[in-house]
């Protein structure tokens, strides 16, 4: 089996999605993938960030993590996007990053790769699924294969039962959430490894 390469790209204002991304990266590495953990660039003005201590703290805590780039997307065989819910959709920071990838998309360099996504929101019924679907809608334009968790493991139901992707309540990355993220990451690694191995066999034939 060829070792798959995954880019885990996250955006986090207050830390929840950062914690989720670290958990996903740990599980993906343990499952045998080469992993790049990348922070989606902040676009809010520093003057706005400075008005909130929690936002400033998270900015400092994640400063050591390299920013996601088009090269990181080109490098990978599969992607795990992790970002909070904003008005029922993805944050503008994630949209802005996605909108820098037009060149890669145009060359077909995002196609035939795998992708999955996770999110958090303040309440149990306030946009988790619509955020994940907003991400998957774009990923379908890329021609990526969406590897949703479905109900393929008890960890999904134990974490609230979201078959679109793991979703947490903001500030609560508990053991059940970590287990669901680990299952989702392992599933992404497994499916990506199969695709990469089949592709290598085709090229060798
Ligand atoms: C501008 C804005 C819009 C938000 N919209 C929603 C929403 O539609 N539904 C919801 O439950 N929470 C919403 N939230 C709360 C965020 O989802 C929450 O802060 C986030 O999940 C925390 O993740 P983080 O710690 O990684 O930043 C919103 C927060 C902000 C700042």
The domains found in the chain, sorted by start residue, are 5-204 (3.40.50.360)
CB-facing half-sphere around the CA of 144: CA atoms within 13 A: 29
SS3 58: helix
**123 touches ligand 1 (CB under 6 Å):** yes
Atom number in ligand 1 closest to CA 122: 11
CB-facing half-sphere around the CA of 23: CA atoms within 13 A: 22
Q: Give the mean pLDDT of the chain.
A: 97
**127 touches ligand 1 (CB under 6 Å):** yes
What is the spatial distance between Cα 11 and Cα 147, in angstroms, rounded to a whole number?
20
pLDDT (tens digit, 9 = 90+) per residue, 117-170? 999 999 999 999 999 999 999 999 999 999 999 999 999 999 999 999 999 999
What is the spatial distance between Cα 5 and Cα 199, in angstroms, rounded to a whole number?
14
Would you mind telling me the total number of residues written for the chain in this entry?
205
CB-neighbour burial class of residue 60 (10 A; exposed 0-12, middle 13-18, buried 19+): exposed
Question: Which residue has its alpha carbon closest to ligand 1 atom 22?
Answer: 170
Look at residue 2 in the predicted model and tell me its pLDDT: 84
Average pLDDT over residues 39-50: 98
pTM value? 0.98
What is the spatial distance between Cα 148 and Cα 94, in angstroms, rounded to a whole number?
19
> Which residues, listed in sequence order, are joined to residue 145 by a DSSP beta bridge?
114
pLDDT for residue 1 is more than 90? no
**121 touches ligand 1 (CB under 6 Å):** yes
Distance 132 CA to ligand 1 centre (A): 13
Supply 99's token pair.
Answer: 């909108």
Could you tell me where the DSSP H helices lie in the chain? 16-30, 46-49, 53-61, 70-75, 92-98, 102-106, 128-142, 154-158, 175-204
Question: Which residue has its alpha carbon closest to ligand 1 atom 3?
Answer: 86
pLDDT band at residue 31 using 50, 70 and 90 as cut-offs: very high
Q: What is the C-alpha R_g of the chain?
A: 16
Distance 76 CA to ligand 1 centre (A): 28
**126 touches ligand 1 (CB under 6 Å):** yes
**172 touches ligand 1 (CB under 6 Å):** no
Contact 194, 159 (CB under 8 A): no
Q: Going by DSSP bridges, is the β-strand pair 5-10/167-169 parallel, antiparallel, or unpaired?
A: unpaired
What is the spatial distance between Cα 135 and Cα 103, in angstroms, rounded to a whole number?
19
What is the spatial distance between Cα 5 and Cα 79, in angstroms, rounded to a whole number?
9
């Amino acid at each position: 089996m060829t070792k798959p390469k995954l880019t885990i790209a996250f955006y986090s204002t207050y830390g929840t999605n950062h914690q989720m991304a670290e958990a996903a990266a740990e599980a993906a590495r343990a499952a045998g993938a080469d992993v790049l953990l990348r922070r989606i660039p902040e676009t809010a003005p520093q003057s706005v960030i400075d008005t909130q201590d929690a936002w400033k703290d998270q900015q400092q805590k994640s400063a050591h993590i390299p920013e996601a780039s088009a090269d990181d997307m080109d490098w990978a065989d599969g992607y795990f996007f992790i970002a909070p819910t904003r008005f029922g959709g993805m944050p503008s920071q994630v949209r802005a990053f996605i909108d820098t990838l037009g060149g890669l998309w145009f060359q077909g360099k995002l196609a035939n790769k795998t992708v999955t996504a996770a999110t958090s929101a303040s309440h149990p019924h306030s946009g988790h699924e619509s955020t994940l679907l907003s991400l998957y809608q774009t990923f379908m334009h890329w021609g990526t294969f969406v590897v949703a968790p479905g109900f393929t493991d008890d960890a999904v139901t134990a974490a609230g039962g979201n078959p679109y992707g793991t979703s947490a309540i903001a500030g609560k990355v508990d053991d059940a959430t970590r287990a669901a993220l680990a299952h989702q990451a392992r599933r992404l690694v497994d499916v990506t490894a199969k695709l990469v191995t089949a592709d290598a066999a085709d090229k060798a034939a």
